[in-house]
Amino acid sequence: MARLRFKAVDEAQGRQTIKVDIPVGKVTEYYGANIFNDDVMRAMLSPEAYTKVTTAIKSGERIDREIADEVASAMKSWAVSKGATHYTHWFQPLTGGSAEKHDAFFDINFDGKALEKFKGSSLVQQEPDASSFPNGGIRATFEARGYTAWDPTSPAFIIYNEAGTGTLCVPSIFVSYTGELLDSKSPLLKSLSALDKAATEVAIIFDRHVEKVSATLGAEQEYFLVDKALFNARPDLMMAGRTVFGHAPAKGQQLEDHYFGSIAPRVNAFMVDFEFECLKLGIPVRTRHNEVAPAQFEAAPTFEEVNLACDHNILLMDVMRRVSKKHNFEVLFHEKPFAGINGSGKHNNWSMSTDTGVNLLGPSTKPKESLRFVTFLVNVIKAVHDNADLLRASIATSGNEHRLGANEAPPAIVSIFLGTQMIKVLEDIENKEIVSIEKGENAYIKLGLNRIPSILLDNTDRNRTSPFAFTGNKFEYRAVGSSANSAQPMMVINTIVANQLVKFREAYDAEMNEHEGKKEEVIVKILKQYIKESKKILFEGNGYSEEWKQEAAQRGLSNVASAPEALKAYLRPEFIEIFEKMGVLTEREIHARYEIELENYIKKIQIESRLIGDLAMNHVVSTAIKYQTKLVQTAKSLKEMELHQEAEPIINIIKEISARVSEISKKVEEMTEARKQANVVEDLEQRAKLYGNDIKNFFEEIRYPVDKLELLIDDEDWPLVKYRELLYIR
Ligand code: ADP
Ligand code: MG
């Protein structure tokens, strides 16, 4: 096995940078070349069909059959002209990734003649034999069929394979035959329309021209790169995406010399290459840099409408996986691939904007607009405060459990960072006496709102330890896991904010009716109350500190480190009520999702546990015993030569190895036993709990002696690629 390690190290060290061939010149010349976008539609569809499709995209209306036929036909011609031979509905089942099943355009007709076809019906709807996708018991009770349906709001795209032929991918939702949602995209779409409706009702208080509010997302993606040969020599990376063993290298991230450092040539070539592929798919990647940990990097796009941005993030990850192989890398999206150094997140920058072009979380220089801004800001704060546990549940996975509340922040406590200036603004609103405004008076001056604009515009505070931070014109949800589908947390934010905005509008209408008050006065009165009710969620200090945990507990904020525990929030009646009221998920769908999440959690820990057992016994212990035998021989020889004192240190090492080996063997046996016991537990919640505690607790206990052995055993014999090799060879 050590042979494999050294072979891999040799291979990795001998790599050349792969040359990337991209056209010189402007990005605009190839941006979106592989998508069926607005320009293509305008050129290829009849004016009538074009108008219908674009209206349907804006309003979410259904597209009728004739139009679908015309769109399908245009899509096919376009795709075939670009070298596509197949098409697929591209959807996001609850496995976390995307799914596809390719059908050829080519077919034969009744007399055996070949033809190319793609009918409107195939564009609009397909019935994949989907019985193997997670459904949380929903379909078993009816029938095993599901169908996928075209989402016209996200453009179709072409993905090319190694042979150079392409597949036309049609973004789709995935539902059961009885109508239950079985994917990540459909509830996201529903949450977006709930938010649109609720936010528009509030936005029109300030500007009656607003007809639509869209949520926006810019998802910063962190990842690690590891040489392909080294990756393949680590079964844990291959199968679980993270290392279960490995002693920390002498140099980790303590010098902080990687962050924003110059990018290594091989890595840079990879970045240029995948960005090129992304740009052709209309994914607006803009930023690339080294992250804090060695071998860790980040890619960030310009923000887009949330549904599109979520699709693009899933696609970006897919493109990165494929392109990395070409550059002899493997990209790691796991939240915690290496112990002792930073893990990876996906920072979801979220905001709302109107069809009149206004960012509702963007401060303004005009007092009237400031009031609108503060209104939306405070409503988001209130929504997060009231539904913090739901937000926490939306990011609970076995991978993210290693970050949140474990060895690394952000903590599992949901809190909001605002920055000193914003805090001051809210304090002013909260503490100022309600004044009544007479006719002709300047309401903003009287309410103290005229001072807000100038204060806010230079709000540049940053707090990297906050899970949910206001960053000047958007919120950054930093606790999302790097491997997650953003659709899940985005769906929850949209839903809780929509629900909150509905309540705000109701309160506003009631006050206005009752008191015939001036609108500004009424708004400030409601906001005052919201600030009072939700300010305990605001925290400006160090989210990673021990003091915060204590303070948060005193404030009554939840701190749930365990993923299964956090997921339970989904089942709380008050949250189910919100999902149902906003028309996003039914109680049945929520239960199904909860089950799927728990199953996922159990399976992931089960795989890791098996890996740990296997690697510990068949790689580490076996190597240790062989090495020990060598030492025993040496000690014997020394003793035969009467060199007793010289034999002493060797005997000590032999003893230490023996002790570690027996500890490892014992723990592995106990862990296997615990697994056996857990596997027969019928109750899913109970089983998840056993996996999350009884079984997972062994991981560290086994890792510790294994990592100690790594330091004792001759480097020449150690079978697993070491951290310093994984992290520094590129
Ligand atoms: P920061 O300095 O806060 O990191 P950046 O300008 O680098 O800000 O933006 C980080 C991410 O936030 C980018 O993906 C960017 O497109 C996104 N972003 C900027 N404005 C918005 C917005 N209004 N809504 C959603 N995301 C946004
Ligand atoms: Mg950021």
Q: Distance between CA 17 and CA 294 in Å, rounded?
A: 19
Rg (CA), the chain: 29
Ligand nearest to the CA of 471: 1
Nearest alpha-carbon partner for 563 in 435, 404, 722, 372: 404
Ligand 2 centroid, distance to 526 Cα (angstroms): 31
Q: Distance between CA 294 and CA 256 in Å, rounded?
A: 9
pLDDT in tens, 510-537: 999 887 768 888 999 999 999 999 999 9
| pLDDT at residue 253 in the model | 74
The HSE-up count of residue 639 (CA atoms within 13 Å, CB side) is 11
CA angle 574, 580, 583 (to 5 degrees): 145
Mean pLDDT of 560-566: 95
Residue of minimum CA distance from atom 19 in ligand 1: 303
Tell me if 216 CB under 6 Å of ligand 1: yes
Query: Do 317 and 311 contact (CB within 8 A), yes or no?
Result: no
Q: For 61, which DSSP code?
A: -
Ligand 2 centroid, distance to 464 Cα (angstroms): 8
Q: For 483, which DSSP code?
A: T
Tell me if 459 CB under 6 Å of ligand 1: no
Q: For residue 460, report the phi and psi dihedrals to the nearest 5 degrees.
A: -120, 10
Ligand 1 centroid, distance to 474 Cα (angstroms): 7
Structure tokens at 331: 């990209």
Lowest mean pLDDT among 68-72, 233-237, 606-610, 616-620: 68-72
Beta strand pairing call for 166-176 and 157-160: antiparallel
| pLDDT at residue 376 in the model | 98
Q: For 255, which DSSP code?
A: T
| pLDDT at residue 143 in the model | 58
Tell me if 379 CB under 6 Å of ligand 1: no
| pLDDT at residue 117 in the model | 81
pLDDT at 142 over 50: no
Tell me if 300 CB under 6 Å of ligand 1: yes
Residues with CB under 5 Å of ion ligand 2 are 347
Ligand 2 centroid, distance to 465 Cα (angstroms): 11
Which residue spans within 314-375 are E strands per DSSP? 329-332, 346-354
Q: Distance between CA 360 and CA 199 in Å, rounded?
A: 9
Q: Please enumerate in sequence order all residues whose Cβ is within 8 A of that of 449, keeping only pairs 6 or more positions apart, or say none.
A: 367, 370, 371, 374, 443, 520, 524
Residue 302 Cα: closest atom of ligand 1 = 16
Ligand nearest to the CA of 462: 1
Structure tokens at 16: 């050349």
| pLDDT at residue 311 in the model | 97
Residue 353 Cα: closest atom of ligand 1 = 23
Indicate the helix (H) or strand (E) that contains 178. none
pLDDT at 108 over 80: yes
Ligand 2 centroid, distance to 604 Cα (angstroms): 29
Nearest alpha-carbon partner for 281 in 33, 617, 485, 77: 33
Q: Distance between CA 364 and CA 352 in Å, rounded?
A: 15
pLDDT at 97 over 90: no
Q: Distance between CA 296 and CA 318 in Å, rounded?
A: 18
| pLDDT at residue 254 in the model | 73
Pocket test for ligand 1, best of 348, 349, 490 (most atoms within 8 A of CB): 349
Tell me if 303 CB under 6 Å of ligand 1: yes
pLDDT at 156 over 60: yes
Q: Please enumerate in sequence order all residues whose Cβ is within 8 A of that of 37, keeping only pairs 6 or more positions apart, or say none.
A: 155, 282
Q: Distance between CA 282 and CA 155 in Å, rounded?
A: 9
Q: Distance between CA 662 and CA 678 in Å, rounded?
A: 24
> Across the chain, what does the average pLDDT equal?
91
| pLDDT at residue 261 in the model | 77
Q: Distance between CA 217 and CA 308 in Å, rounded?
A: 9
Residue 359 Cα: closest atom of ligand 1 = 23
Query: Do 724 and 249 contact (CB within 8 A), yes or no?
Result: yes
Q: For residue 190, report the phi and psi dihedrals to the nearest 5 degrees.
A: -65, -40
By the 10 Å C-beta count (0-12 exposed, 13-18 middle, 19+ buried), 680 is classed as exposed
pLDDT in tens, 418-469: 998 889 889 988 987 766 666 666 767 766 676 665 556 555 677 788 899 9
Pocket test for ligand 1, best of 260, 303, 354 (most atoms within 8 A of CB): 303
Ligand 1 centroid, distance to 601 Cα (angstroms): 31
pLDDT in tens, 498-517: 999 999 999 999 999 887 76
Residue of minimum CA distance from atom 17 in ligand 1: 218
| pLDDT at residue 110 in the model | 82
Tell me if 284 CB under 6 Å of ligand 1: no
Residue percentage of the chain with pLDDT more than 70: 93
Range picked from 53-62, 338-347, 485-494 for highest mean pLDDT? 485-494
Residue recorded with tokens 């950054």: 476
Tell me if 301 CB under 6 Å of ligand 1: yes
Lowest mean pLDDT among 26-40, 252-266, 675-689: 252-266
Amino acid at 399: G
Other C-beta atoms within 10 Å of 297: how many? 23
ipTM value greater than 0.85: yes
Phi-psi sector, 382: left (phi>0), alpha (psi -120 to 50), beta? alpha
Domains recognised in the chain with CATH numbers: 31-183 (3.10.20.70), 192-585 (3.30.590.10), 599-728 (1.20.120.1560)
Ligand 2 centroid, distance to 247 Cα (angstroms): 30
Tell me if 351 CB under 6 Å of ligand 1: yes
What does the chain come to in residues?
A: 730
Residue of minimum CA distance from atom 3 in ligand 1: 471
Ligand nearest to the CA of 353: 1
Residue 471 Cα: closest atom of ligand 1 = 3
Ligand 2 centroid, distance to 416 Cα (angstroms): 15
Tell me if 185 CB under 6 Å of ligand 1: no
Ligand 2 centroid, distance to 255 Cα (angstroms): 21
